[in-house]
Structure 1
Amino acid sequence: MDSQSSETSVVSQEPSSCHEAVLRDHQYEVLRDIGCGGFGQVQLARHCPTGAEVAVKVLPKTVQNLPFLSEPDTMRSLKHPHVIQLFEVVETPQNIYMVMEHGGGGQLLDHVSEGGLQEKEARRLFRQTVSAVGYCHDRGIVHRDLKPENIVLDARGQVKLIDFGFSTTVQPGKKLHEFWGTLSHFAPAIILRQAYEGSPEDIWSLGLILYFMLTGRCPFTGPTAKKMLRQMVQGAYCLPHRVSVAAQILIRQILTRDPRKRPTARQILQHPWLVQGEQHVPRVYGEALPRHPDPEILTVMFDMGYDLHKTCVSLAKRKFNAAMATYLILEHQKSQGAGVFQGTAAPPRVKPRPRPRPVDPSSSLLLPKRCPSEPPLRPLPLPCEPPLQEEAQVSGQRHIRIASQPAIHFRFPPARTPASDSASQTVSGQSCASRKF
């Protein structure tokens, strides 16, 4: 018993320490575990160069997971504001590490209260979810596991679609025969073990999600799984009276037994209930990778010590390596309005030299003290210097050279009579000042 217990403890601790070592080598600091699924675990980590928090999904390379190891390839081609973004893929002989954007707002399942959301908030979240699903369908990708647990919110309360482990690429007119997903969100065709198209089954799941948003519960319930599945095949459910008529019509259109009569994601976005208070949703989204890297982000990466040529090559060849991850994280921070310097060490700035303060000539030790009986001396303009302004002359202020101007060296002319000397200096100073200006 003792040997078995010690062996179990070693086995349970070894994967975690192994994951931390691999991620540490790629400049990630593991913080804690944030999720665990049937195919791998998800850890919260910090990207050391930028300080950004990321989610790392660990996929073991086992025989059972072979059909689901294509998730990194699927996410490489996706870039949508409401789809979780992939930053880096680290592969070892035992595991695949997917470094992704972290949605810090929690799951939609925890965001919906017991009685459901207000229709205004449900409309906003559902519109973003349908936009993400329609984006995937336009690229031939079906999710096949849409549920509130796979919809998270970021720090700003925006929807992020996650977990593409069951997703696949479907050609138009092609039927699918794999029956994967969550039991409570199966479409009737999957329950009946019939060949199905991918996108109509995702639409069915969207109807269940909308029902949950507005009511706080699932439409199909039963004491046993068999009775629940019978209700799902028959499409037997009821809607509370507090749900508006327009929302009820949309739910009934989506939860149609015949998949050919279900609306597409584009048609759902045009429904009158969903258009209410609609904010502009861009129809065309950027590519998964930018063709022309952002010069501002490249400048920051250069200050961080990255080779810009290798970075551009990584972006062009879609390597999803360390350099590309840093670029995508900085780009994500900039798109969130946080600035490219969040979490990064800003380049050192040269402090301006302090400007010396002007010295009062009256306090200088070189000037002799004037006796009270002597008349005040009028300042004479220096050569190549503009004459004093009238206001300064009237108020009796003395002309002081600004400290930032260079010192002017000049020679005094030979001694003359006071009248002629004063007149000659005044004329020469005015003529030089006029030439200067």
Structure 2
Amino acid sequence: MTIEIRRLDTNENDFSSELETLLAWESVSDKQVQTIVTDILDDVKTRGDAAVIEYSNRFDHLHVENMDQLELNQEQLEDALNTLPADQRHALLAAADRVRKYHDKQKQDSWQYTEEDGTLLGQKVTPLDRVGIYVPGGKAAYPSSVLMNAIPAHVAGVQEIIMVVPTPGGELNQLVLAAAAVAGVSKVFTVGGAQAIAALAYGTATVPKVDKIVGPGNIFVATAKRQVFGTVGIDMIAGPSEILVVCDGKTDPDWIAMDLFSQAEHDEDAQAILISPDQNFLDQVQASIEKLLPTMARKDIIRASLNARAALIKVKDMNEACEVSNTIAPEHLELSVDDPQALLPQIRHAGAIFMGRHTSEALGDYCAGPNHVLPTSGTARFSSPLGVYDFQKRSSLIMCSPEGASELGKIASVLARGEQLEGHARSAEYRIKKQ
């Protein structure tokens, strides 16, 4: 089967419209999915554990009768860690250590200051009480997802981290359970789908209600997260995975082809794009793709992704490459050039930036340290990677001295009366010192 990767050139008159078509992605689920999810959410909210058990049996082909059969204890998590093959245990612990060290740098502290008249202002930073982490299960087992979602919450000081993970056919993934032990997860329920999101959002007799839900899932999970937002916080509604490589034409084309594969292999909707001012290099990468694809275990998925959503984009120079990159606002951006620091000031929108020829995106997925939960579908224009700050709240502190209350009261009074809110004005005016 042929690989027909789209070719774009900024010199062509229709480039902007072609790029817009390439990037178009509609992540909103159809009405049928929304109806199914709404019914599940309502049912779990009404019937709690009984509904969770029924949906788990139906969708995951289980045969459980009570919630005890869907909960794992800490001993099971520790056993999973202790019985891992030595190489997996070492890799998991090393990755967790790097992720923890990076996120330790993100911790925010409370602060306050006192003005000359004695008025105190500040900010109090407090961790969330309890968060829920959704981890995909079944054929897709992602221990890295456990680390990236749970460790920032743990670093932030969250007291309870509740993990849900589907186990179709009752199959447990030991690496995922071991990751939960390493990352400080408090409780694990082998529940997935919209019913898991409902249980976390509304709480049941067994599953504690959480303050925020994070983690990736299928369209039913994403739809459920969207619908419970407001009852709980969520991290984001993630679209398909993306990679954008900006290359000057001097990197081994086999390396670049494999970097593109690293995202295309996620699923057929993933997007892999290469930008270069060197037409010959684009041709070389195309040749590498055709050479290497037959060697890939997930070649059918990669081919479908490349044919549907990939592109090789020719630009006039590296400055224009950065402009196009900012338009795309990719989830993952590789700057595969000699001096990536020189390009960095021109990059305004990207979830994560991988700098230099030796920094593959795959390192960020597992063990570099920064979080791999990143904004997709152009949302890097206004969103950031998941981090410790997503598991903390900030409360404003205001304590007026008598003098401060008097002076501020004069300002507030004028503005409140300008808005015709007499109660506000008189409340402030009571504190104004009489002359």
Q: Report the TM range for the smaller structure's normalisation.
A: under 0.3
Query: How high is the TM-score relative to the length of structure 1?
Result: 0.22
Of Structure 1 and Structure 2, which has the larger fraction of its residues in helix?
Answer: 2
Of Structure 1 and Structure 2, which has the larger fraction of its residues in strand?
Answer: 2
Larger RCO: 1 or 2 (CA < 8 Å, sep 6+): 2
Query: How high is the TM-score relative to the length of structure 2?
Result: 0.22
